[in-house]
Amino acid sequence: MSSSVGPTVARERLRQRLRELREQSGLPSQEVARRMDWSGSKLSRIEKGDVTVQPLEVRALLTLYGVSSDSEVLLLTALARQSRTRQWYSKHRLAGDYQRFVAYESEASRISVWQVLFVPGLLQTPEYARAVTALSARRDLSDEYVTGRVELRLDRQRAFAERLAGAEPPRLVAIVDESTLRRPVGGHAVMARQLDHLLEIGRQPAYTLAVTPLDLARNPGLGGTFELLEFAGTGDPDVLFVEAAADTDDLTLDPALTAEHKEVVKDLLTVGLTGDEALEFIRAVRTSMARG
């Protein structure tokens, strides 16, 4: 278990291990909180990953739990230190499951997106992003909320692009329904430029594009759209995120749900158009739009 991870994965690893060690020690949470001179809820929030914990506090907990391994003490204090570092998304002042989603996404090794309504955020052009955000939020293009969400989306794109130059570049698998490509969000000119962007992105090795045609008799993605985040080779749990209206987003690490949606991704890639076929399909839609 390496500590060379981002703050969100570091917090998740740390909180899991601290909970395991407390349970192994046989100490009830109320007793631990009393000995640490904490409120009754602080330990619970630490073990749920709701708050960070200082390295010195981690050392005190490990002493309380009877941990004498220098390597484990060093590892867990390093994770505590890493979990408290500020990241690029801190400036956006996010909260709740959406904040956790952005943080996890910025560390995932593979991002799989299934979308039937609009082009996935990591692939949107700025003008398309403004149009789709304004429409979904029922606000003007110049509204402060729309501007903030678009800036965040573009920052997510930049963060992903920067990671592509690293030693272990991430992968993005974007599966969209044909209706997404034909829906002229922002007008035909905006949509045409969005399709041009998809054709350019689709030639790059880090991106896999797939399209599910409307005439599919059995579309395995009818259960709803989602984004699945994986952390290959780390042992860290997959993350499932469902973005919904009115900030009712949902994020889960439940292994049964993430495994189920991983199968959905596989099925969508099996029945959908991929590779050159997907690009040719997008190109055909773009051509028909130009004629219109």
User: Tokens in use for 50?
Assistant: 């709701």
Locate the domains of the chain by residue range: 7-85, 94-291
* C-alpha pair distances (Å), 118 with each of 3, 125, 182: 37, 12, 10
Residue type, 260: E
CATH class of segment(s) 7-85: mainly alpha
Global confidence as pTM: 0.85
In CATH, the architecture of 94-291 is: 2-Layer Sandwich (3.30)
* Residue of 170, 151, 9, 10 lying closest to 80 (CA atoms): 10
Residue 23 φ/ψ region, left for φ over 0, alpha for ψ in the -120 to 50 degree band, beta for the rest: alpha
pLDDT in tens, the chain (292 residues): 444 578 888 998 999 999 999 999 999 999 999 999 999 799 999 998 888 999 999 999 999 999 999 999 999 999 999 999 888 898 998 888 898 999 999 999 999 999 999 999 999 999 999 999 999 999 999 999 999 999 999 999 999 999 999 888 999 999 999 999 999 999 999 999 999 999 999 999 999 999 999 999 999 999 999 999 999 877 889 999 998 766 678 999 999 999 999 999 999 999 999 999 999 999 999 999 876 5
User: What pLDDT, on a 0 to 100 scale, did the predictor assign at position 95?
Assistant: 84
Which among 256, 227, 242, 255 has a CA at the least distance from the CA of 97? 242
